[in-house]
Amino acid sequence: MRIISGSAGGRRLTAPRGETTRPTADRVREAVFNILASNGEVPERVLDLYAGSGALGLESLSRGALRAVFVDDAAAAVEAIRKNAAALGFQSTVEVVATRVKEWLKRPSNGRFGWIFLDPPYAGSELDRALGLLAAGDYLAKGGVVVAEHEWRGAPAADHGSLALSDRRRYGQTAVSFYRHSEMTP
């Protein structure tokens, strides 16, 4: 696993050991960032939920984001994110929060994010719950995008409060759904 492009392009990342983390494949990450790049500029702030190794948020920083917040409740993931951020020289631009995503999303929003990444475990209904909490908490900046990775057969609902599905792509067994504020969706 590596950073695809930007200031840290080509640098390797460490993934947490064990079966609790499923890193986003390089080809899926590259496709996601190509789609995001075609839709506008890299935002100042990004949010990486169920962050695992932190690859999505760190890729954003490598491409020009100024700040990234990572949320994961697994100790191994939190350690991997911190190590990866330090190895890439991004430690001053990251905030790593060791808590459950659902709990973090129930707190009042501390600003909005241009890109929000969600990559929960494929089993269960974490994704729909997290999307609902994101919409209710008003975390997405105007013109921003929520990127949700999931198993292609377990696609989340198309609408979650103010968030509406704008695109969905499939990459083998993995699918990625893109959400925007409903007034931004064609």
Residue 115 falls inside a structural domain: yes
Residue 28 falls inside a structural domain: no
Residue 94 falls inside a structural domain: yes
- At residue 6, what is the residue type? G
pLDDT reported for residue 24: 77
Predicted confidence band of residue 20 (pLDDT cuts 50, 70, 90): low
Predicted confidence band of residue 182 (pLDDT cuts 50, 70, 90): confident
pLDDT reported for residue 114: 96
Residue 183 has pLDDT above 90, yes or no: no
Residue 5 falls inside a structural domain: no
pLDDT reported for residue 78: 95
**Would you say 177 and 167 are in contact if contact means Cβ atoms under 8 Å apart?**
yes
Predicted confidence band of residue 56 (pLDDT cuts 50, 70, 90): very high
pLDDT reported for residue 23: 72
- Taking residue 111's Cβ as centre, other Cβ atoms within 10 Å add up to 11
Residue 96 falls inside a structural domain: yes
pLDDT reported for residue 18: 62
Residue 19 falls inside a structural domain: no
**Would you say 164 and 157 are in contact if contact means Cβ atoms under 8 Å apart?**
no
Please tell me which of 115-129, 144-158, 171-185 the model is most confident about, judged by mean pLDDT.
Answer: 144-158
Ramachandran class of 10: left when φ > 0, alpha when ψ lies in -120 to 50, beta otherwise: left
Q: Work out the burial of residue 110: count CB atoms within 10 Å of its CB; fewer than 13 is exposed, 13-18 middle, 19 or more buried.
A: exposed
Q: What tokens were used for 115?
A: 């890109």
Domain with 152 in it: what CATH number?
A: 3.40.50.150
38: Cβ–Cβ under 8 A, 6 or more apart, which residues? none
Q: Which domain holds residue 59?
A: 40-184
SS3 for 34?
helix
Predicted confidence band of residue 121 (pLDDT cuts 50, 70, 90): confident
Q: How many domains does the chain have?
A: 1
Q: State pTM to two decimals.
A: 0.93
Residue 52 falls inside a structural domain: yes
Residue 17 falls inside a structural domain: no
Average pLDDT over residues 101-121: 90
Which 3-state string (H, E, C) describes 56-100? HHHHHHHCCCCEEEEEECCHHHHHHHHHHHHHHCCHHHEEEEECC
Predicted confidence band of residue 43 (pLDDT cuts 50, 70, 90): very high
Q: What tokens were used for 80?
A: 């991997």
